[in-house]
Structures are given as structure tokens and as C-alpha cells.
């Protein structure tokens, strides 16, 4: 947190969180999956297709040593992502994923950290789609993976603890992040979330970009 890095945001997602703060990556006109804002976006205005080498050149021009690949769900484009990273051999790379898709073999060895964010019941996704046991088991056994859970109310933590127990996820690798897209909501939820993190030896993840820049694209 607070470290300048390069970000690349990929489009499309196999889940549909009702509170998703980047619906412009997947909730295009004609997509009837629910979202609390009831807003859809024109695909042509929000989705850009570029050659992998061009994307790599734009990332390199930012002059950062670390790259975070986010989405949407980046692992849906794992093979193309691996080809893109071939043009950035010296960059450390993190991938943010919802945990339902395994990394392509060509990509797996290039990733330094997987930020796995399984979606709890309040996301609106069915559990069999959002929390497949075999995938959670894979990530629990992957030492490069940390688990980041979005928390809207204290009862969500009970779901996290149950998943951690069921899949042997160490609390030291669990981050809890308040759900919200404005500083007031985040501050209110973080007040009680901090005590929960302390009590269960888990990490609290702040949404620093919201506090600094608001809910704006490109931050």
C-alpha cells in the first residue's frame, strides 16, 4: 500500500458481484447479471484490444519495477498475458484474481504474488460458482497466494473463518478489506474491522486510492 506500481486492467469477468466497483470492465449493454447501480456500459467505449507487445511497451514506459494485473478476471486471458509478460522479463508481477480460474502453465512461473479474492455470499454470486472447493484448495497450497476478502458487515467474517478452517488457509495470509467506494463508508467499517483483524491475527487492507483520489478510474 502506498507504493507506486504500474497497473494494467483487463476486461471481462466470469463472476458478477453486485457491489463491483469496476462494472465498466464487464457489465456491458445486454448483460443481464445484476448490479446494484443498474448501469450498463457500452463495450466499444470501455474495452480496448491491443497487441501484447504494445501493452508491454506502454507498461514499460511508466518506468515502474512492479506490475499489478487486475480486472475483471485476468486469468481468463492467461495465455495472452504470459505472452505480454515475455516482453517485460525484469518486472515483478502480481495478479489479482477471484480465485475461480487457475493460472495458465505459461503464465504461472512469471507471477510473484497472487492476490486471491474469493467472493462471499454478499457478492450475490452462487457459492458453487464463486467458491469452488478444488480451486480454494489449490490457492491455499500455493505459497505465493494471499487471500483478500471484501467485508461489508461483521457476519461476513464468520464466512471467512469457516472457509479458512475448511481449506487450511493460514490467518497470516488473510487480508480483510472493507467494502465501500467512499471514504466515509470505509472509515465506518474499518473501525470495527480493525478489532476483528487484531482478534484473529489477520491483516486489514485499506483502500488507500479511495481515500486519496475518490472512486475514480485510473487510480
Helix, strand, coil shares, percent, the chain, to 5 = 40, 15, 45
The number of beta carbons lying within 10 Å of the beta carbon of residue 173 is 18
Q: Are residues 99 and 2 in the same domain?
A: yes
Q: Please say whether the beta carbons of 84 and 52 come within 8 A.
A: yes
Q: Could you tell me which of 98, 108, 135, 116 has the C-alpha nearest to residue 16?
A: 98
101 and 173 belong to one structural domain = no
pLDDT tens readout for residues 41-65? 999 999 999 999 999 999 999 999 9
Q: Above 90 in pLDDT, residue 217? A: no
Q: Running DSSP on this structure, what letter comes out for residue 185?
A: H
Q: Contact at 8 Å (CB) between 84 and 57?
A: no
Cα 143 to its chain centre, rounded Å, is: 17
pLDDT band at 89 (very low <50, low <70, confident <90, very high): very high
Q: What is the mean pLDDT of the chain?
A: 96
Give yes or no for a contact between 184 and 212, defined as CB atoms under 8 angstroms apart.
no
Asked if 33 contacts 15 with a C-beta cutoff of 8 angstroms, the reply is no
- 168 and 110 in a single domain? The answer is no
Can you state the angle between helices 155-167 and 133-140, rounded to 10 degrees? 70
pLDDT at 180: 96
User: Could you tell me if 28 and 133 lie in one domain?
Assistant: no
Query: Domain end: 86, 116, 146, which one?
Result: 116
Domain, as residue range, for 92: 1-116
Query: How many structural domains compose the chain?
Result: 2
Predicted confidence (pLDDT) per residue in 158-214, tens digit: 999 999 999 999 999 999 999 999 999 999 999 999 999 999 999 999 999 999 999
Domain presence at residue 66? yes
Residue 218's pLDDT band (boundaries 50, 70, 90)? Answer: confident
**Mean pLDDT across the stretch 126-139?**
97
Task: Judge whether 121 and 159 are in contact, CB under 8 Å.
Answer: yes
- Strands 66-70 and 6-9, how do they pair? parallel
Taking a C-beta distance cutoff of 8 angstroms, is the pair 74, 11 a contact?
no
Is the per-residue pLDDT at 130 higher than 90? yes
Tell me the average pLDDT across 138-157: 98
Confidence (pTM): 0.95
Amino acid at each position: 500500500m502506498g507504493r507506486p506500481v504500474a497497473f494494467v486492467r483487463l476486461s471481462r469477468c466470469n463472476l458478477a458481484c453486485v457491489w463491483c466497483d469496476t462494472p465498466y470492465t464487464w457489465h456491458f449493454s445486454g448483460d443481464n447479471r445484476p448490479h446494484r447501480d443498474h448501469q450498463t456500459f457500452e463495450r466499444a467505449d470501455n474495452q480496448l484490444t491491443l497487441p501484447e507487445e504494445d501493452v508491454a511497451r506502454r507498461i514499460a514506459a511508466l518506468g515502474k519495477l512492479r506490475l499489478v494485473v487486475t480486472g475483471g478476471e485476468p486469468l481468463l486471458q492467461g495465455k495472452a498475458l504470459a505472452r505480454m509478460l515475455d516482453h517485460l522479463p525484469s518486472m515483478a508481477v502480481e495478479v489479482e484474481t477471484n480465485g475461480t480460474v487457475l493460472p495458465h502453465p505459461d503464465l504461472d512461473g512469471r507471477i510473484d504474488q497472487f492476490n486471491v479474492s474469493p467472493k462471499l455470499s454478499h457478492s450475490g454470486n452462487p457459492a458453487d460458482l464463486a467458491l469452488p472447493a478444488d480451486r480454494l484448495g489449490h490457492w491455499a497450497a500455493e505459497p505465493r497466494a494471499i487471500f483478500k476478502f471484501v467485508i461489508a458487515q461483521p457476519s461476513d467474517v464468520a464466512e471467512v473463518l469457516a472457509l479458512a478452517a475448511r481449506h487450511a488457509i493460514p490467518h497470516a495470509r488473510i487480508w480483510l478489506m472493507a467494502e465501500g467506494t467512499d471514504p466515509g463508508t470505509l472509515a465506518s467499517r474499518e473501525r470495527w474491522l480493525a478489532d476483528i483483524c487484531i482478534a484473529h491475527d489477520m491483516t486489514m487492507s485499506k483502500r488507500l486510492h479511495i481515500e486519496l483520489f475518490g472512486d475514480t478510474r485510473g487510480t
